[in-house]
Amino acid sequence: MGNMQATAYAGLVRDGTTNLSMALAAHLQSNHYPPVPTSMVPVCIEAIDLANADEYDALVDLPDGVTYKDATAAPVWAIAESHHLGPFINDPEEDNDWDDDWEDDE
């Protein structure tokens, strides 16, 4: 159900019904347990922008108090994978290798 809901949120952004920040906040809070803090919304937006530029290995700074493997930055692919951002990146029908676990959970 989470992937379907994320796809729906991404669709609302694409058709102009809502903005990316609001859609991501709803996605991070309702499709994850425990909910992901909304302080990660700007991080996810930066990761989406970099993923759309095919920069999956680029590092994105994390908010205060958040770490990735004891680091204060994380690669785009890890952010996209752990926050299930596939529907928000490029074509939602595109098969993203790093998003396979999300689809298997359904």
Pull the structure tokens for residue 62: 């994390």
Which residues face 40 on adjacent strands?
A: none
Of the ranges 15-19, 37-41, 44-48, which one carries the lowest mean pLDDT score?
Answer: 15-19
* Distance from C-alpha of 33 to C-alpha of 75, rounded to nearest angstrom: 22
Confidence band (pLDDT; 50, 70, 90) for 6?
Answer: very high
* Distance from C-alpha of 31 to C-alpha of 72, rounded to nearest angstrom: 24
* Distance from C-alpha of 65 to C-alpha of 88, rounded to nearest angstrom: 25
pLDDT tens by residue, 59-94: 999 999 999 999 999 999 999 999 999 999 985 445
Average pLDDT of the residues in 92-103: 48
Cα 80 to the center of its chain, rounded Å: 5
Residue 100: what pLDDT?
47
Residue 91: what pLDDT?
59
* Distance from C-alpha of 50 to C-alpha of 72, rounded to nearest angstrom: 18
